[in-house]
Amino acid sequence: MPIPIHSARLRRLSPGEPTTGPVVYWMSRDQRVSDNWALLAAARQALETKASLVVVFCLAPNFLGATIRQYGFMLKGLVQVEARLRQRTIPFCLRLGEVVPSLAAFVREINASLLVTDFDPLRIKRRWKDQVIDAVSIPVLEADAHNIVPCWEASSKQEYAARTIRPKIHRRLDEFLTNFPELPAFARALALPPVDWDAARQSLRIDHGVTEVDWLEPGENGARDLLTRFIAQRLEHYGQRNDPNAPVLSELSPYLHFGQISAQRVALAVMASNAAAESRKAFLEELIVRRELADNFCWFNQAYDTVEGFPDWARKTLDKHRRDPRAYVYDLDDLEAAATHDPLWNAAQMEMVAAGKMHGYMRMYWAKKILEWSASPEEAMAAAILLNDKYELDGRDPNGFTGIAWSIGGVHDRPWFERPVFGQIRYMSAAGCARKFNVKEYVRRFQG
């Protein structure tokens, strides 16, 4: 019985029909065995052509400045991937060194007939894929294993806001928010040596100065346990999600970022729960609409990490206020050391540095203050992205680039009352926060 997969989840990146020979799943964004449409597509092709299936992950020596905090979490998750695949007699191979040449060599070495990979809107991934397609002579298939409605199905253009993509996503959920077929076990496998995880860690050229975190158990098992706990204990109170002192968030973003759990699986579990409809609806709006809007932005706007990616009205208003006097100007070192005049901002920075995950509501305030205290919007973008991606476990993600562009450049937002420095970019203040939650309590929790 072939593995049922909605054809719209797959797209061919390069022409040609697969011949005989192993099918390779080049795992990158979706680092899990369960509920993975890219792995299921590779498995289906291998079964249909009676070929063997191999999963390969290419470990980049330094991926967009990631530190041992993120690589440590990711590698622990990949150890579980190798073990779970072994249970199904599917070999897992970890390739080290520059990604494109090492993958192309692997494809040649095992005489692969088809390469399947997973969708990712980030520039670096698109570049890797373009170069891999030039380097190999076999067909390449891509599956969107990250979004519920595949990015290229949800919309054919950059969307203005959540309100414009929401109906386009909602009308396709019946078609795509389905259960997953089982991944079959294979009878035989290519004999590949087990992974040398020490050599993998040695191959990294990364900053070891940011501590790894220990409050989350990396990998698929930890993700599933956390989802169960979230639904049982916190989802009901998700209406308090804008209070950074209320422990009601799912904390799933590191797992979603590394693809250690499927957003589709999370959505199915939340919908099946008996939490109040209001809580489920609010959570699914973030998990499905906001998250897929971020992929849409990064996919259709390749200037997603610069001021050029902002809407025209935002660029104009920020230009108009470029020379406004700044009451405070901080450089990257001041910000990184949480050494500003604002205890609330400093506490948010310290939460991120210490825990590797700043509360979602504080991320908006945090980024907006960087705009207010930087010499230019360009410097604000650079500082916010650098700090976000250095310390957040879930950094280097379309959600991050989009969240920062929303905060600093009005992406997916609209013009507000004009004021110095911000122009018509939505403003947030500590006084505004104090009207929403207990600022003193939050500051007390995180001051050094």
Q: Which residues bind ligand FO1 (CB under 6 A)?
A: 28-29, 58-60, 63, 66, 70-71, 74, 120, 122, 258, 395-397
Q: Which does 28 bind (CB under 5 to 8 A by kind): ligand FAD, ligand FO1, none?
A: ligand FO1
| Residue closer to ligand FAD (CB basis): 118 or 394 | 394
Residues 250-289 that bind ligand FAD (CB under 6 A): 250-253, 256-257, 286-287
In the bound complex, what is the minimum distance in angstroms from residue 246's beta carbon to ligand FAD?
11
Please report how close the Cβ of residue 67 comes to ligand FO1 at its closest, in angstroms.
Answer: 9
How deeply is 90 buried, as exposed, middle or buried, from its count of CB atoms within 10 A (0-12, 13-18, 19+)?
Answer: buried
Instruction: Indicate whether 296 belongs to the interface with ligand FAD (CB under 6 A).
Output: no
Measured from the CB atom, the residue of 311 and 395 that comes closer to ligand FO1 is 395
Q: How many CB atoms lie within 10 A of CB 409?
A: 25
Select from 110-118, 130-138, 202-210, 248-256 the region that touches ligand FAD (CB under 6 A).
248-256
Q: Is 360 among the residues that bind ligand FAD (CB under 6 A)?
A: yes
Is 292 a binding residue for ligand FAD by CB under 6 A? The answer is no
User: Least distance from C-beta 396 to ligand FO1, angstroms?
Assistant: 4
Minimum CB distance to ligand FAD, residue 230 (Å): 7
The DSSP bridge pattern shows strands 92-96 and 114-118 to be unpaired
Residue 363 within binding range of ligand FAD, rule CB under 6 A: yes
Measured CA to CA, the distance from residue 371 to residue 421 in angstroms comes to 8
Partner from ligand FO1, ligand FAD, none binding residue 70, C-beta < 5-8 Å depending on class: ligand FO1
Q: How many residues interact with ligand FAD (rule CB under 6 A)?
A: 28
Q: CA-CA distance, 117 to 145, in Å (whole number)? A: 9
Toward ligand FO1, which CB reaches closer, 393 or 433?
A: 393
How many Cα atoms occupy the beta-carbon half-sphere of 283 within 13 Å? 31
Q: Of ligand FAD, ligand FO1, none, which one does residue 59 interact with (CB within 5 to 8 Å by kind)?
A: ligand FO1
- Bridge partner residues of 140 (DSSP): 14, 115
Shortest distance, position 90 Cβ to ligand FAD, whole Å: 28
Q: Which one of ligand FAD, ligand FO1, none is in contact with 364 (Cβ closer than 5 to 8 A by kind)? A: ligand FAD
Give the Cα separation of 64 and 113 in Å (integer): 31
- What is the footprint of ligand FAD within residues 374-433 (CB under 6 A)? 388, 392, 394-395, 397, 399-400, 403-404, 406-407
Q: How far is the CB of 251 from ligand FAD (least distance, A)?
A: 4
Between residues 120 and 305, which has the closer beta carbon with respect to ligand FO1? 120
Rounded Cα distance, 179 and 277, in Å: 21
Q: How far is the CB of 14 from ligand FO1 (least distance, A)?
A: 19
Applying CB under 6 A, among 290, 369, 390, 412 the residue interacting with ligand FAD is 290
Question: Can you read off the two tokens belonging to residue 444?
Answer: 């007390």
CB of residue 58 to ligand FO1, shortest distance in Å:
6
Q: How far is the CB of 213 from ligand FO1 (least distance, A)?
A: 13
Would you tell me which residues interact with ligand FAD (CB under 6 A)? 241, 249-253, 256-257, 286-287, 290-291, 294, 360, 363-364, 367, 388, 392, 394-395, 397, 399-400, 403-404, 406-407
